[in-house]
Amino acid sequence: HEAAKEAKKVKDGKVKMLKNALKAKAAMEAEAKKATAEDHLAVQKLEVVELLPIQNMIKRLEHKLEQFRAVYVDPESESVVEERKNEFENTSERGNTRVIEAEVKAVDGNGEIHAEQPVSKDDFENIDGSDDDEFAAVREQNRSENSLTQQTVDSCLGTATATFGEKVQAVFTDLKKMVLSKTEDGPESGENTPEFEIQKAKECISVLEEEKSKKGREVQEVLGKIAGLKRWIEMDYGSAPGLRALKEKCVRETVGQYEFEHCPFNRVLQYENGRQIAELGSFSSLKFSDDPKIRMVLEYDKGNTCWRGPKRQVSVELECGEEPHIIDVEEPSRCIYKMRFSTPVVCTHQMLEAITESFNHDEL
C-alpha cells in the first residue's frame, strides 16, 4: 500500500511537471514566433536601409571611376593634352595666331574661323562647353584649397566628367586662356593648368577607389549580419519550434567540482573557482535523435585544444523538463563531453498522455 502511494506521488509529480512544462513550451513557441518575425523585419531593414544605399553608392563610385579613367588616365588623353599644350605654347612664343581645327569648331559650330584670323579674348568667351559651369565651380573650390590631398569623396563625385572629346576641348579652353594671360596678364596659377586638372582627377580616382573598398567592406559586414539572421530563420527545429527561444539565454550551474555554462546555439564554457578554464565548443549543428527521451542534440565543436590532445567538443542532449537546467556532464573520452540539458520545448502532449494512461492502468 505504501509503495502504491509513493508511486502515485511520483506520477502526480511527473504529470504536474509536464503540464507546467507544456505551458512554458507554449509561451516559448510564441516567443520564438515573435523572434522570427523580428528577424524577418531586421533582414528587410538591413537590405533596404543599410545594404541598398551602400550598393547604390558603389555603383556611383564605379561609374565616376569609369568616367575619370576614360577621360584623364588614358595615355592617349595625356599625350594629346601635352601635344596641344606644346602647340599653344609655341603659338604664344611666336605670336602666331594659328588655331587648331578642333578648337575652331568649338568657337564656331560651323568651323568658319580661319587660322589667319587674330585670336581675341572675345573668341575665348564664346567657347563654352556643356559642363563649363560645373567645371568652373569645382575649379573655384580647388583654388581655395592649399593642397590637392584635400580632395573628398563628395567633391570628386561632384566633379563633372564629360566624354574624352568634350573634356579635352574644355582643357584646350583653359590652355587658350593661359596663353592670353601669359601675353597680357602674366602667368596664371598652376591650378588653371591642364596638369592640375589631370592630377586632381588622378587623386580623385585614388580617393574614390579607397571609398569603394571601404564600402565593399561595409557590404560584407551587412551581408554577414543578414546571413546570421537568416540562419535562425531557416533553421529546421523539427517538432520543437520553441527552441529558437533558447537563443542567447545562458544557463550556468555547478556539476561536480566544476561549473558549466550552456548558451544554446552559441557555446559551452567550463569554470573552476569562478574562473573560465575552457571553452568546450561553439555551436555547429542541431541533430534529431530516435531516442524518445532525448529527441534532439545540440552539437558544439572547435573548442579549446586539450594539452597534447584534440580540440574539445560537446554534445548537449535535450530532455523534457519544466525549466532549462544542466542535469549532468560527462567526459566519456578525452576532451569529448556529453551534457544532459532539460528544457520545456522538447516536452510533448504524448508524454503527458503516456504517463496518464500508465497511471490509469496501474489503478485498474
* pLDDT per position as a tens digit, 154-191: 877 876 655 444 555 565 565 555 555 544 444 444 55
**Distance of alpha carbon 68 from its chain centroid, rounded?**
27
Q: Which of 151, 131, 147 is nearest to 204 (CA)?
A: 151
Please list, in sequence order, all residues whose beta carbon lies within 8 angstroms of the beta carbon of residue 228, skipping any fewer than 6 positions away: none
Any idea of the CA torsion for 343, 348, 349, 353, to the nearest 10 degrees?
-90
Q: Shortest CA distance to 113 belongs to which of 121, 122, 104? A: 104
pLDDT tens for the chain, residues 1 to 364: 677 777 778 788 888 889 999 999 999 999 999 999 999 999 999 999 999 999 999 999 998 888 777 766 555 555 655 665 566 556 544 444 444 344 433 333 343 433 344 444 444 344 444 444 554 554 455 444 434 445 688 877 876 655 444 555 565 565 555 555 544 444 444 554 556 666 777 788 888 899 999 999 999 999 999 999 998 899 888 888 899 999 889 999 999 999 999 999 999 999 999 999 999 999 999 998 777 777 799 999 999 999 888 999 999 999 999 999 999 999 999 999 999 999 999 998 888 888 777 655 555 4
Q: Taking a C-beta distance cutoff of 8 angstroms, is the pair 323, 344 a contact? A: yes
Residue 91 is which amino acid? Answer: T
What's the burial of 280, exposed, middle or buried (CB within 10 Å: 0-12/13-18/19+)? buried
* 267-276: long-range pairs with CB below 8 Å, 24+: 267/300, 268/300, 268/303, 268/314, 268/316, 268/337, 268/339
Assess contact for 326 and 308: CB atoms under 8 A: no
Measured in whole angstroms, how far is the alpha carbon of residue 248 from the centre of its chain? Answer: 23
The predicted model scores a pTM of 0.61
Positive/negative CA dihedral, 144, 146, 150, 156: positive
Q: Which residues contact 16 (CB under 8 A, 6 or more apart)?
A: none
